[in-house]
Structure 1
Amino acid sequence: MDKNKEKKVALLYDGSGAYPSGVVAWEQVLQARGYDVVKASGQRFTDRLAVKPDLVTIPGGHSAKYNEDLGREGVTAISSYVQGGGTLLGVCGGAYFLSEDISFKMLERDGSV
């Protein structure tokens, strides 16, 4: 990597509901790919979105807890970040949290829905 270039910054959610092992794993993956990783939650996470990180990652965990931690202001800030061209990665519960609608269908034993 060119030492004259600034490192890319990844904002990694590590608040309520995020699986600690997932946060650690994603931090390692992002660092291995040359990112400076900033872990944050709640209002600090929301505030960091305004400085336009190169990547925002929301790892696996309990998506309802993410909503409680970030609130309407956080959700709005994420939406603005993406609409402004930001790159967002949601994994497992993080992807559910970022979805507009989620529905599950139960399979019967014979494989039918």
Structure 2
Amino acid sequence: MADDMPVAVDDDLQELIDELMNAGPEDEADDREVEEISATALSEATEYLEDPDPPSPEQVGWAEGAVISAQSAADNMASYALDLRRALAVFAGTGRPEEAEIE
């Protein structure tokens, strides 16, 4: 009868647990960054809701577009930086981007 019971932890959940258990300082820094961004967004939302003269829908739309464009540019730059680190790692002979230094 015990064989009929579903597995409490499937492979995907076990993988997530293993990933969290092996999280390093970089992951913790990412978590802190997400918390800071969330706190900032909450603060800005609170200010917006309490503002007696809020921006028009057109202004909000423009601002959202600017944020999306800025995030896209930041993502592209991060990708380029990672590509540069990988290339430097190849030239440095380490094969590990995290060991390559940009001077």
Bigger fraction of residues in helix: 2
Q: Same fold (TM over 0.5)?
A: no
Higher relative contact order (CA 8 A, sep 6+): 1
TM-score (norm 1): 0.22
Bigger fraction of residues in strand: 1
TM-score (norm 2): 0.23
Larger Rg: 2
